[in-house]
Amino acid sequence: MKKSNSMMAAILAVIALVFTGCGPSGKINETPTSGNIKISVDESYSLIMDTQISTFEAIYSYAVINASYKNEVDCFADLLNDSARLIVVNRNLTAAEEQKLNSQQIIPKTTKVAYDALAIIINKENKDTIFRYEQIEDIFKGKISKWTDINPASKNGEINVVFDNNKSGNPRYFKDKFKLNSKFPEYCYAVNSNEEVINYVEKNAGAIGIISVNWISDTQDTVSQKFLKKIKIAGVSDEGNTDGPFLKPYQAYIADGSYPFVRDVNMISREYFNGLGTGFVSFVAGEKGQRIILKSGLVPATMPIRLVQIKKD
């Protein structure tokens, strides 16, 4: 009997070692640098997260991170339903979302890893390259619907505003920013991705596109530079500054907050033990990951950066 009990104890000890870190969902053991997990990423950050993941997996050969790129609404649904252990988005959890996770005995952890900006893009042939902050607000409130409302000499006709997706963080950002309680005007449309927004603006003279600056900010990325050649980036004044300066979403203006449409990039984890999700967040928030963010044209959130002013003679 004692021998049988000893053997059972040994078996249980082995099982405990194999399944250390397991909780209600029954996931097998992993480490911060090994394992296989699913994450959901806002499509706005597909370019930069592809680089983060490929770099992380190159360093840690036993790590596999399967990223699904989708709209913001679906990312949060995945987190709440345990379809993804980690999401990359540009807003925080609401009180209701946090309460739902708490009811599952999950304490979510949010890590800010970057500052992003929403770029206002226009057709290459459009000569109206600057907007006052209040003009952008009036466009979304339905008070400005024609290019002649901005420039009486314009021949571009009706304004068409194009977002990447109705469920994405981009239209939600402007609804929050301008405290819109109703739907966008009928001249605001949604396609399926940031890339489709760029292609639409390229082909339509009266279009205004709203995209994450990450899609056009990396000076060394061939995809980013290809898109940048198709459109122009508009300059925007800060709120109340009717005479400018009219700033574009360059890193320096994102970093000092002078560009008016800046937002956080957050990694939100539901991981209840020190697993691969935790390791990946630590990597992105660490030196190597923050250097990738800096190179991409976004602004690192956890590492200090130095702004250098270049004076022209």
**Superfamily, domain 116-262:** Periplasmic binding protein-like II (3.40.190.10)
Class of domain 19-115+264-300: alpha beta
Six token digits for residue 255: 């970093």
Q: What is the pLDDT of residues 226-259, one digit of tens each?
A: 888 899 999 999 998 888 899 999 999 999 999 9
pLDDT the model gives residue 305? 62
For residue 35, CA distances in Å to 191, 205, 277 come to 35, 49, 9
pTM of the predicted model as reported, rounded to 2 decimal places: 0.85
Q: Which of 207, 298, 311, 304 is nearest to 259 (CA)?
A: 298
- Identity of residue 304: P
Pairing of strands 188-190, 160-163: parallel
User: What is the C-alpha separation between 147 and 165, in angstroms, rounded?
Assistant: 24
Same topology, domains 19-115+264-300 and 116-262? Answer is yes
Over residues 20-44, the pLDDT tens digits come to 444 444 445 799 999 999 999 999 9
pLDDT at 306: 60
Give the domain ranges of the chain.
Answer: 19-115+264-300, 116-262
Answer yes or no: are the C-beta atoms of 169 and 76 closer than 8 Å. no
Task: Point out the residues of the chain with pLDDT beneath 70.
Answer: 1-28, 304-313
